[in-house]
Amino acid sequence: MTSLKLKTNIYGLVGEVTIPGDKSISHRSVMFGSIAQGETTVTNFLPGDDCLSTISCFRKLGVTIEESGGQLHIFGNGFEGLTEPDELLDVGNSGTTIRLLMGILAGRPFFSTLVGDESIGKRPMTRVTGPLTEMGAKLDGRKNGAYTPISIRGGQLNPIHYELPVASAQVKSALILAGLQADGVSTIIEPAETRDHTERMIRHFGGEINKDNHAITVKGGQKLTASTVHIPGDISSAAFFLVAGAIIPESEIVLKNVGLNPTRTGIIEVMKKMGAELEIVQQNDNSFEPVGDLIIKTSNLKGTVVEGKLIPKLIDEIPIIALMATQAEGKTVIKDAEELKVKETNRIDTVVQELKKLGASIEATDDGMIIYGKTKLSGGIVSSHGDHRIGMMLSIAALLCENNVELEQSEAISVSYPNFFSHLNSLIH
Known active-site residue 212: no
In Å, what is the CA distance from 71 to each residue of 67, 74, 417? 6, 10, 18
Site for ligand S3P in 349-408 (CB under 6 A): none
Residue 327 is labelled as binding a ligand? no
Q: Which stretch binds ligand S3P (CB under 6 A): 112-120, 163-171, 205-213, 214-222?
A: 163-171
Query: Is the Cβ of residue 164 or residue 248 nearer to ligand S3P in the bound state?
Result: 164
Q: Which long-range contacts (CB under 8 A, 24 or more apart) does 115-118 make?
A: 115/88, 115/89, 115/90, 115/91, 115/148, 115/149, 116/90, 116/91, 116/92, 116/148, 117/92, 117/93, 117/386, 118/386
Q: How far is the CB of 188 from ligand S3P (least distance, A)?
A: 13
Residue 24 is labelled as binding a ligand? yes
Q: How far is the CB of 409 from ligand S3P (least distance, A)?
A: 19
Residue 389 is labelled as binding a ligand? yes
Q: Which long-range contacts (CB under 8 A, 24 or more apart) does 355-358 make?
A: 355/322, 355/323, 355/326, 355/397, 357/381, 357/382, 358/382, 358/394, 358/397, 358/401, 358/405
End-to-end CA gap in the chain: 29
- Which of 53, 173, 227, 345 contacts ligand S3P by CB under 6 A? 173
Interatomic CA distance for residues 291 and 282, integer angstroms = 8
Nearest residue to 355 via CA among 382, 328, 392, 386: 382
Q: Which stretch binds ligand S3P (CB under 6 A): 166-174, 212-220, 227-235, 259-267?
A: 166-174
Residue 326 CA to its chain's centroid (Å): 24
Using CB under 6 A as the binding rule, whether residue 315 contacts ligand S3P is answered as: yes
Residue 183 is labelled as binding a ligand? no
Helix (H, G, I), strand (E, B) or coil at 139: strand
Using CB under 6 A as the binding rule, whether residue 170 contacts ligand S3P is answered as: yes
- Which of 102, 114, 160, 169 contacts ligand S3P by CB under 6 A? 169
Site for ligand S3P in 186-205 (CB under 6 A): 195
Interatomic CA distance for residues 290 and 166, integer angstroms = 26
Interatomic CA distance for residues 428 and 277, integer angstroms = 20
Residue 181 is labelled as binding a ligand? no
- Which of 26, 37, 40, 168 contacts ligand S3P by CB under 6 A? 168
Residue 127 is labelled as binding a ligand? no
Using CB under 6 A as the binding rule, whether residue 96 contacts ligand S3P is answered as: yes
Q: How far is the CB of 58 from ligand S3P (least distance, A)?
A: 16
The DSSP annotation for 172-228 comes to: HHHHHHHHTTBSSEEEEE-SS----HHHHHHHHTT--EEEETTEEEEETTPPPB--E
Interatomic CA distance for residues 315 and 197, integer angstroms = 15
Burial class (CB in 10 A: 0-12, 13-18, 19+), 155: middle
Interatomic CA distance for residues 224 and 363, integer angstroms = 48
Using CB under 6 A as the binding rule, whether residue 93 contacts ligand S3P is answered as: no
Query: Is the Cβ of residue 295 or residue 342 nearer to ligand S3P in the bound state?
Result: 342
Query: Is the Cβ of residue 199 or residue 316 nearer to ligand S3P in the bound state?
Result: 316
Query: Is the Cβ of residue 165 or residue 249 nearer to ligand S3P in the bound state?
Result: 165
Q: How far is the CB of 207 from ligand S3P (least distance, A)?
A: 18
Residue 168 is labelled as binding a ligand? yes
Q: How far is the CB of 103 from ligand S3P (least distance, A)?
A: 11
Nearest residue to 4 via CA among 287, 352, 407, 290: 407
Cα angle: 236, vertex 121, 362; to 5 degrees: 50
Cα angle: 28, vertex 34, 35; to 5 degrees: 95
Using CB under 6 A as the binding rule, whether residue 316 contacts ligand S3P is answered as: yes
Catalytic residue among 316, 336, 367, 387: 316
Nearest residue to 188 via CA among 210, 220, 216, 168: 216
- Which of 19, 24, 257, 410 contacts ligand S3P by CB under 6 A? 24
Q: Which stretch binds ligand S3P (CB under 6 A): 167-175, 185-193, 256-264, 270-278?
A: 167-175
Give the interface size with ligand S3P as a residue count (CB under 6 A): 11
Query: Is the Cβ of residue 131 or residue 359 nearer to ligand S3P in the bound state?
Result: 131
Question: Binding pattern to ligand S3P, positions 323-352, x when CB under 6 A?
Answer: ----------------x-------------
Residue 196 is labelled as binding a ligand? no
Q: Which residue numbers belong to the known binding site for 3-phosphoshikimate?
A: 23-24, 28, 168, 170, 316, 343
Q: Which residues are annotated as a binding site for phosphoenolpyruvate?
A: 23, 95, 123, 170, 347, 389
Contact residues: ligand S3P, CB under 6 A: 24, 95-96, 168-170, 173, 195, 315-316, 339
Active site positions, annotated: 316
